Structure 1
Amino acid sequence: MRRRTEPAVAASGRWIDEDGVRAPGGSVHAWRPGTNQTLCGVPLHKAGLQRFPHVLWIDARWLAETTEERIVLCHRCAAAAGDRPGRRWTRVHPRP
Structure 2
Amino acid sequence: MRAAVAATDTWTDPDGIRSPAGEVHAWLPGTNQTLCGIPTKKARLGRFSHVDWLDVQPATGRDADRVSSVCRRCLAATGHRRDEKPWRRTNPRP
Same fold (TM over 0.5): yes
Matches within 5 A, 1:55-70: 55-61=51-57, 62=61, 63-64=63-64, 67=65, 69-70=66-67
Contact 2:20 2:67 in 1 (8 A): no
In the alignment, is residue 83 of structure 1 matched against residue 80 of structure 2?
A: yes
In the alignment, is residue 7 of structure 1 matched against residue 14 of structure 2?
A: no
TM-score by length of 2: 0.77
- The structure richer in helix per residue is 1
Deviation of the 1:70 alpha carbon: 4.1
- List 4+ stretches of structure 1 deviating above 6 A: none
User: How many residues in Structure 1 have an aligned counterpart in Structure 2?
Assistant: 80
Alignment RMSD (CA, Å): 1.8
Counterpart for residue 21 of structure 2: 25
User: What is the CA deviation profile of residues 29-66 of structure 1, one whole-angstrom value per residue up to 9, with x for unaligned ones?
Assistant: 000001000000000000000110000100111133xx
Contact 1:29 1:39 in 2 (8 A): yes
Q: Which runs of 5+ in 1 are unaligned?
A: 88-96
* Identity rate, percent: 52
Structure whose alpha-carbon radius of gyration is higher: 2
TM-score by length of 1: 0.76
Q: Which runs of 5+ in 2 are unaligned?
A: 85-94
Separation in 1 of the partners of 2:56 and 2:67?
Answer: 12
